[in-house]
């Protein structure tokens, strides 16, 4: 089961992947994260930068694959590059319960490879990135329509400091507008692949809101830190509650999709 986050520079995409990975691993699930960002951002949540190397870096029951995507040719629109990379590194994704793919934000051949490699896609939405969110959803639905009809959209995770209801409404409008851009014969086909979308706001977004807080945002594992910062996420009751609620909703949407 492979999940990709939306190809847009929404604040918190890598952070939410780490929350889900931690929460799922604590429930006995084997998790793999594929880090395709040239800066290996999410890898640095779990491993000190000086200790990161190309290949598998592990943290407890979570494996993080740091892949040098830039070594592969992108001279043509090839949607099978990621599959070749995984074969080259001899990593069998079927050995894991969940695989998450993180990559540099933006609509690119890298993000298209991630989408074509995946079963599900998720998105995050934050106040400062509403325009990018709408553009990203439009791209996702275009891919679902023309390139990868097996890809399912699980909804949006809201990251908000205040007024999450406004972001919820913006996410709904973004989905409606993105559907309008599709040919008439494709709209119903794509709707069937959105976690149960009934034309209302009810199921577009996760109920669990990720608050903008320092203990949730400052996750980079620097040399000055003794333990990975993601480890302390479970040390606080309020953070454990957020992660557990997020994982509960995530698993429910997977089962319903």
- Residue 154: HSE in the Cβ half-sphere, 13 Å Cα cutoff: 25
pLDDT of the residue at 249: 96
Tens of pLDDT along the chain (257 residues) come to 899 988 777 668 899 999 999 999 999 999 999 998 878 888 988 888 778 777 777 788 899 988 765 555 555 567 777 887 787 778 888 999 999 999 887 777 888 888 888 999 999 988 777 888 888 899 899 888 887 668 899 999 998 878 888 889 988 999 999 999 999 888 988 998 998 888 888 888 999 999 887 777 788 888 888 888 887 788 888 889 999 999 999 999 999 88
Rg over alpha carbons for the chain, rounded to the nearest Å, is: 17
Specify the residue for token string 């494709």: 186
Tell me which residue of 244, 212, 15, 18 sits closest to 126, measured CA to CA: 212
Q: 3-class SS at 126?
A: strand
Return d(Cα 233, Cα 118) in angstroms, integer. Answer: 27
Return d(Cα 139, Cα 144) in angstroms, integer. Answer: 9
Return d(Cα 232, Cα 239) in angstroms, integer. Answer: 9
Strands 55-59 and 62-66: antiparallel
Specify the residue for token string 């089962």: 255
pLDDT of the residue at 179: 93
Q: What are phi and psi of 216, to 5 degrees?
A: -95, -25
How many other C-beta atoms lie within 10 A of the C-beta of residue 118? Answer: 22
Return d(Cα 221, Cα 74) in angstroms, integer. Answer: 31
Q: Which domains does the chain have, with CATH numbers?
A: 2-256 (3.40.50.300)
């Amino acid at each position: 089961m492979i999940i990709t986050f939306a190809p847009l520079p929404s604040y918190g995409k890598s952070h939410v992947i780490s929350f889900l990975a931690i929460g799922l691993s604590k429930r006995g699930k084997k998790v793999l994260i594929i880090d395709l960002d040239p800066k290996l951002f999410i890898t640095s949540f779990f491993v000190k930068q000086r200790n990161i190397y190309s290949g598998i870096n592990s943290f407890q029951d979570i494996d993080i694959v740091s892949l040098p995507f830039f070594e592969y040719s992108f001279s043509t629109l090839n949607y099978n590059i990621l599959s070749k990379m995984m074969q080259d590194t001899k990593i069998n994704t079927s050995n894991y319960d969940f695989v998450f793919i993180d990559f540099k934000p933006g609509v690119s051949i890298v993000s298209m490879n991630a989408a074509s490699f995946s079963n599900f896609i998720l998105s995050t939405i934050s106040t400062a990135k509403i325009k990018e969110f709408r553009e990203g959803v439009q791209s996702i639905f275009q891919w679902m329509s023309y390139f990868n009809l097996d890809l399912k959209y699980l909804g949006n995770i809201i990251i908000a400091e205040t007024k999450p209801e406004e972001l919820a409404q913006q996410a709904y409008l973004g989905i409606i507008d993105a559907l309008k851009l599709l040919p008439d014969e494709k709209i119903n086909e794509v709707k069937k692949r959105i976690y149960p979308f009934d034309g209302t706001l009810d199921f577009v977004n996760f109920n669990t809101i990720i608050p903008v807080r320092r203990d949730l945002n400052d996750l980079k594992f620097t040399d000055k830190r003794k333990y990975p910062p993601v480890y302390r996420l479970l040390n606080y009751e309020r953070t454990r509650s957020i992660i557990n609620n997020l994982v509960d909703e995530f698993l429910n949407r997977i089962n319903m999709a």
